[in-house]
Amino acid sequence: MEQRTSDRHADALRRLTALIERPEPLDVVAAGLVIASEEYPDLDIPAERLRMEALGKEASTRIEGLSNPFARLDALRTYLFEELGFRGNDQNYYDPRNSFLNEVLHRRLGIPLSLSILYIEIARRAGLEARGVGLPGHFVVRVDDDGRRLLVDPYHGGTVIAEEDCRELVSRATGRPGLYSPGLLDGVGPKEILGRLLRNLKRIYLAQEDHRRALAVVEKLRRVFPDEATELRDRGFLLAHLERHGAAVADLETYLSLHPHAPDANAVRGRVVWLRRRITEPS
Protein backbone atom coordinates (compact mmCIF):
# COMPACT_ATOMS: atom_id res chain seq x y z
CA MET A 1 0.00 0.00 0.00
CA GLU A 2 2.77 2.43 0.96
CA GLN A 3 4.65 1.60 -2.24
CA ARG A 4 1.57 2.25 -4.37
CA THR A 5 1.08 5.61 -2.61
CA SER A 6 4.73 6.48 -3.25
CA ASP A 7 4.41 5.52 -6.92
CA ARG A 8 1.28 7.67 -7.35
CA HIS A 9 3.07 10.59 -5.74
CA ALA A 10 6.10 10.22 -8.00
CA ASP A 11 3.87 9.99 -11.06
CA ALA A 12 1.89 13.10 -10.06
CA LEU A 13 5.13 15.03 -9.49
CA ARG A 14 6.46 13.94 -12.88
CA ARG A 15 3.29 14.99 -14.73
CA LEU A 16 3.01 18.26 -12.82
CA THR A 17 6.62 19.12 -13.61
CA ALA A 18 6.01 18.41 -17.30
CA LEU A 19 3.08 20.82 -17.32
CA ILE A 20 5.07 23.52 -15.55
CA GLU A 21 8.00 23.20 -17.94
CA ARG A 22 5.93 23.62 -21.09
CA PRO A 23 6.68 26.88 -22.94
CA GLU A 24 3.01 27.86 -23.14
CA PRO A 25 1.11 29.29 -20.12
CA LEU A 26 0.39 26.75 -17.41
CA ASP A 27 -2.91 24.89 -17.82
CA VAL A 28 -4.37 25.25 -14.32
CA VAL A 29 -7.19 22.78 -14.90
CA ALA A 30 -4.83 20.09 -16.21
CA ALA A 31 -2.48 20.72 -13.27
CA GLY A 32 -5.37 20.63 -10.80
CA LEU A 33 -6.54 17.29 -12.16
CA VAL A 34 -3.01 15.88 -11.96
CA ILE A 35 -2.93 16.94 -8.29
CA ALA A 36 -6.26 15.18 -7.74
CA SER A 37 -5.02 12.03 -9.46
CA GLU A 38 -2.72 11.26 -6.53
CA GLU A 39 -5.76 11.03 -4.26
CA TYR A 40 -7.96 9.40 -6.92
CA PRO A 41 -5.81 6.81 -8.74
CA ASP A 42 -8.64 5.83 -11.11
CA LEU A 43 -9.28 9.42 -12.19
CA ASP A 44 -9.83 9.69 -15.95
CA ILE A 45 -8.36 13.12 -16.68
CA PRO A 46 -9.34 13.23 -20.38
CA ALA A 47 -12.93 12.37 -19.43
CA GLU A 48 -13.01 15.20 -16.89
CA ARG A 49 -11.71 17.61 -19.52
CA LEU A 50 -14.45 16.46 -21.88
CA ARG A 51 -17.03 17.18 -19.16
CA MET A 52 -15.71 20.74 -18.92
CA GLU A 53 -15.69 21.11 -22.68
CA ALA A 54 -19.34 20.06 -22.76
CA LEU A 55 -20.20 22.61 -20.07
CA GLY A 56 -18.34 25.30 -21.99
CA LYS A 57 -20.10 24.39 -25.24
CA GLU A 58 -23.50 24.57 -23.58
CA ALA A 59 -22.57 27.86 -21.88
CA SER A 60 -21.65 29.23 -25.30
CA THR A 61 -25.13 28.49 -26.62
CA ARG A 62 -26.67 30.20 -23.58
CA ILE A 63 -24.90 33.51 -24.22
CA GLU A 64 -25.08 33.37 -28.01
CA GLY A 65 -26.94 36.35 -29.43
CA LEU A 66 -26.75 38.37 -26.21
CA SER A 67 -25.01 41.70 -26.79
CA ASN A 68 -25.15 43.14 -23.28
CA PRO A 69 -22.22 42.04 -21.05
CA PHE A 70 -24.46 41.87 -17.98
CA ALA A 71 -26.97 39.73 -19.87
CA ARG A 72 -24.20 37.33 -20.91
CA LEU A 73 -22.98 36.94 -17.35
CA ASP A 74 -26.52 36.50 -16.09
CA ALA A 75 -27.12 33.72 -18.62
CA LEU A 76 -23.91 32.03 -17.49
CA ARG A 77 -24.94 32.45 -13.83
CA THR A 78 -28.36 30.94 -14.48
CA TYR A 79 -26.84 27.92 -16.25
CA LEU A 80 -24.04 27.15 -13.79
CA PHE A 81 -25.51 28.10 -10.46
CA GLU A 82 -29.26 27.69 -10.87
CA GLU A 83 -29.63 24.89 -13.39
CA LEU A 84 -26.50 22.87 -12.61
CA GLY A 85 -26.45 23.84 -8.94
CA PHE A 86 -22.78 24.72 -8.40
CA ARG A 87 -22.45 26.35 -4.98
CA GLY A 88 -20.09 27.14 -2.16
CA ASN A 89 -19.70 24.46 0.49
CA ASP A 90 -20.63 26.49 3.57
CA GLN A 91 -21.36 23.34 5.58
CA ASN A 92 -17.91 21.79 5.24
CA TYR A 93 -15.63 24.51 3.93
CA TYR A 94 -12.39 22.73 4.90
CA ASP A 95 -13.24 19.41 3.29
CA PRO A 96 -10.24 18.72 1.01
CA ARG A 97 -12.62 17.52 -1.70
CA ASN A 98 -13.53 21.18 -2.22
CA SER A 99 -10.05 21.67 -3.71
CA PHE A 100 -10.05 18.67 -6.07
CA LEU A 101 -11.50 19.77 -9.41
CA ASN A 102 -12.97 16.35 -10.23
CA GLU A 103 -14.90 16.39 -6.95
CA VAL A 104 -16.08 19.95 -7.54
CA LEU A 105 -17.35 18.94 -10.97
CA HIS A 106 -19.20 15.88 -9.69
CA ARG A 107 -20.47 17.15 -6.32
CA ARG A 108 -20.93 20.73 -7.58
CA LEU A 109 -19.55 21.98 -4.29
CA GLY A 110 -16.42 24.01 -3.80
CA ILE A 111 -14.58 26.89 -2.23
CA PRO A 112 -14.04 30.32 -3.84
CA LEU A 113 -10.85 29.26 -5.61
CA SER A 114 -11.98 25.93 -7.07
CA LEU A 115 -15.33 27.34 -8.20
CA SER A 116 -13.49 30.27 -9.77
CA ILE A 117 -11.12 27.95 -11.65
CA LEU A 118 -14.06 26.10 -13.17
CA TYR A 119 -15.91 29.34 -13.89
CA ILE A 120 -12.88 30.74 -15.74
CA GLU A 121 -12.49 27.55 -17.76
CA ILE A 122 -16.15 27.40 -18.77
CA ALA A 123 -16.38 31.16 -19.43
CA ARG A 124 -13.34 31.02 -21.71
CA ARG A 125 -14.79 28.09 -23.61
CA ALA A 126 -17.93 30.16 -24.05
CA GLY A 127 -15.85 32.95 -25.62
CA LEU A 128 -15.49 35.28 -22.62
CA GLU A 129 -12.22 36.79 -21.45
CA ALA A 130 -11.90 35.74 -17.80
CA ARG A 131 -9.07 35.73 -15.25
CA GLY A 132 -8.68 35.05 -11.56
CA VAL A 133 -8.54 37.76 -8.91
CA GLY A 134 -6.78 36.62 -5.75
CA LEU A 135 -8.18 38.71 -2.94
CA PRO A 136 -6.78 38.07 0.54
CA GLY A 137 -9.08 35.44 2.05
CA HIS A 138 -11.32 35.14 -1.02
CA PHE A 139 -11.13 34.55 -4.74
CA VAL A 140 -13.26 36.03 -7.52
CA VAL A 141 -13.20 36.30 -11.31
CA ARG A 142 -12.74 39.30 -13.57
CA VAL A 143 -14.46 39.25 -16.96
CA ASP A 144 -13.45 41.84 -19.56
CA ASP A 145 -16.33 42.22 -21.99
CA ASP A 146 -17.10 44.97 -24.49
CA GLY A 147 -14.78 47.44 -22.78
CA ARG A 148 -16.18 46.71 -19.30
CA ARG A 149 -14.33 45.15 -16.40
CA LEU A 150 -16.88 43.07 -14.52
CA LEU A 151 -16.30 41.10 -11.32
CA VAL A 152 -18.03 37.83 -10.52
CA ASP A 153 -18.14 35.90 -7.24
CA PRO A 154 -18.61 32.18 -8.08
CA TYR A 155 -18.71 31.21 -4.41
CA HIS A 156 -21.79 33.33 -3.88
CA GLY A 157 -23.84 32.12 -6.81
CA GLY A 158 -21.95 33.76 -9.66
CA THR A 159 -23.30 37.21 -8.87
CA VAL A 160 -21.75 40.32 -10.40
CA ILE A 161 -20.10 42.41 -7.69
CA ALA A 162 -18.56 45.87 -7.44
CA GLU A 163 -15.11 46.93 -6.28
CA GLU A 164 -16.53 47.97 -2.92
CA ASP A 165 -17.89 44.43 -2.52
CA CYS A 166 -14.33 43.13 -2.96
CA ARG A 167 -13.15 45.37 -0.16
CA GLU A 168 -15.95 44.03 2.04
CA LEU A 169 -15.12 40.42 1.14
CA VAL A 170 -11.51 40.98 2.22
CA SER A 171 -12.64 42.61 5.46
CA ARG A 172 -15.01 39.73 6.27
CA ALA A 173 -12.51 37.01 5.39
CA THR A 174 -9.47 38.48 7.15
CA GLY A 175 -10.73 41.13 9.57
CA ARG A 176 -8.19 43.48 7.96
CA PRO A 177 -9.81 45.77 5.36
CA GLY A 178 -6.45 47.46 4.80
CA LEU A 179 -5.26 44.34 2.95
CA TYR A 180 -7.42 45.34 0.01
CA SER A 181 -5.95 47.45 -2.77
CA PRO A 182 -7.34 48.26 -6.24
CA GLY A 183 -4.27 46.69 -7.85
CA LEU A 184 -5.52 43.27 -6.78
CA LEU A 185 -8.20 43.54 -9.47
CA ASP A 186 -5.51 43.25 -12.16
CA GLY A 187 -5.68 39.53 -11.50
CA VAL A 188 -3.16 36.75 -11.01
CA GLY A 189 -1.42 34.34 -13.34
CA PRO A 190 -1.86 30.57 -13.59
CA LYS A 191 1.11 29.70 -11.36
CA GLU A 192 -0.25 31.92 -8.59
CA ILE A 193 -3.65 30.24 -8.90
CA LEU A 194 -2.11 26.77 -8.75
CA GLY A 195 0.04 27.81 -5.79
CA ARG A 196 -3.03 29.04 -3.95
CA LEU A 197 -4.82 25.75 -4.63
CA LEU A 198 -1.89 23.80 -3.20
CA ARG A 199 -1.51 26.07 -0.18
CA ASN A 200 -5.20 25.61 0.61
CA LEU A 201 -4.66 21.84 0.66
CA LYS A 202 -1.50 22.26 2.70
CA ARG A 203 -3.34 24.24 5.38
CA ILE A 204 -6.14 21.68 5.52
CA TYR A 205 -3.77 18.74 5.93
CA LEU A 206 -1.66 20.54 8.52
CA ALA A 207 -4.81 21.30 10.52
CA GLN A 208 -5.72 17.61 10.33
CA GLU A 209 -2.14 16.65 11.29
CA ASP A 210 -2.00 14.56 8.13
CA HIS A 211 1.73 15.02 7.70
CA ARG A 212 2.12 12.55 4.84
CA ARG A 213 -0.40 14.35 2.64
CA ALA A 214 0.91 17.77 3.69
CA LEU A 215 4.41 16.67 2.66
CA ALA A 216 3.13 15.53 -0.74
CA VAL A 217 1.58 18.97 -1.25
CA VAL A 218 4.74 20.79 -0.19
CA GLU A 219 6.77 18.77 -2.66
CA LYS A 220 4.40 19.91 -5.42
CA LEU A 221 4.77 23.51 -4.23
CA ARG A 222 8.52 23.06 -4.53
CA ARG A 223 8.04 22.17 -8.19
CA VAL A 224 5.84 25.22 -8.82
CA PHE A 225 8.00 27.65 -6.81
CA PRO A 226 11.49 26.11 -6.59
CA ASP A 227 13.02 29.31 -5.19
CA GLU A 228 10.66 29.68 -2.21
CA ALA A 229 12.80 28.73 0.77
CA THR A 230 9.83 28.64 3.16
CA GLU A 231 8.55 25.52 1.41
CA LEU A 232 11.97 23.95 1.88
CA ARG A 233 11.74 24.77 5.59
CA ASP A 234 8.24 23.36 5.84
CA ARG A 235 9.31 20.20 4.06
CA GLY A 236 12.03 19.81 6.67
CA PHE A 237 9.54 20.14 9.53
CA LEU A 238 7.19 17.63 7.91
CA LEU A 239 10.00 15.17 7.32
CA ALA A 240 10.84 15.50 11.03
CA HIS A 241 7.22 14.69 11.95
CA LEU A 242 7.49 11.58 9.79
CA GLU A 243 10.76 10.63 11.57
CA ARG A 244 12.87 11.02 8.45
CA HIS A 245 15.40 12.87 10.55
CA GLY A 246 18.38 12.90 8.20
CA ALA A 247 16.40 14.36 5.32
CA ALA A 248 14.78 16.86 7.69
CA VAL A 249 18.17 18.12 8.90
CA ALA A 250 19.38 18.49 5.30
CA ASP A 251 16.39 20.66 4.36
CA LEU A 252 16.50 22.79 7.48
CA GLU A 253 20.23 23.39 7.24
CA THR A 254 19.85 24.38 3.58
CA TYR A 255 17.10 26.80 4.60
CA LEU A 256 19.40 28.34 7.23
CA SER A 257 22.25 28.66 4.74
CA LEU A 258 19.94 30.54 2.38
CA HIS A 259 18.34 32.72 5.08
CA PRO A 260 20.66 32.82 8.12
CA HIS A 261 18.93 35.94 9.49
CA ALA A 262 15.32 34.86 8.90
CA PRO A 263 12.95 35.76 11.77
CA ASP A 264 12.57 32.06 12.58
CA ALA A 265 16.26 31.16 12.14
CA ASN A 266 16.92 30.54 15.85
CA ALA A 267 13.86 28.31 16.16
CA VAL A 268 14.97 26.33 13.11
CA ARG A 269 18.50 25.98 14.52
CA GLY A 270 17.03 24.64 17.73
CA ARG A 271 15.04 22.09 15.77
CA VAL A 272 18.17 21.00 13.91
CA VAL A 273 20.04 20.47 17.21
CA TRP A 274 17.15 18.38 18.54
CA LEU A 275 17.01 16.31 15.36
CA ARG A 276 20.75 15.66 15.42
CA ARG A 277 20.42 14.35 18.96
CA ARG A 278 17.66 12.01 17.81
CA ILE A 279 19.88 10.74 14.99
CA THR A 280 22.79 9.97 17.33
CA GLU A 281 20.72 8.46 20.15
CA PRO A 282 21.05 4.68 20.37
CA SER A 283 17.90 2.88 19.28
Residues 6+ apart with CB under 8 A from 68: none
Residues 6+ apart with CB under 8 A from 234: 202, 218
Q: Determine the pLDDT at residue 223.
A: 96
The pairing of strands 87-88 and 109-110 is parallel
Write out the CATH class of domain 44-188.
Answer: alpha beta
Single-letter amino acid code for the residue at 174: T
What's the distance, CA 238 to chain centroid?
20
Q: Is the pTM of this model over 0.85?
A: yes
Cα–Cα distance between 250 and 200 in angstroms, integer?
26
Distances (CA, A) of 215 to 54, 98, 210: 35, 19, 9
In sequence order, which ranges of the chain are alpha helices (DSSP H)? 2-21, 28-39, 45-63, 69-77, 101-107, 112-125, 163-174, 190-207, 211-224, 229-241, 245-258, 265-280
* Tens of pLDDT, residues 47-73: 999 999 999 999 999 999 999 999 999
Residues 6+ apart with CB under 8 A from 219: 9, 13, 235
In eight-state DSSP terms, residue 1 is: -
**List of the chain residues with pLDDT < 50:** none
The pairing of strands 129-135 and 138-145 is antiparallel
Q: Determine the pLDDT at residue 2.
A: 63
Cα–Cα distance between 283 and 281 in angstroms, integer?
6
Instruction: Give the other-Cβ count within 10 Å of 58's Cβ.
Output: 16
What's the distance, CA 26 to chain centroid?
13
* Tens of pLDDT, residues 199-252: 999 999 999 999 999 999 999 999 999 999 999 999 999 999 999 999 999 999
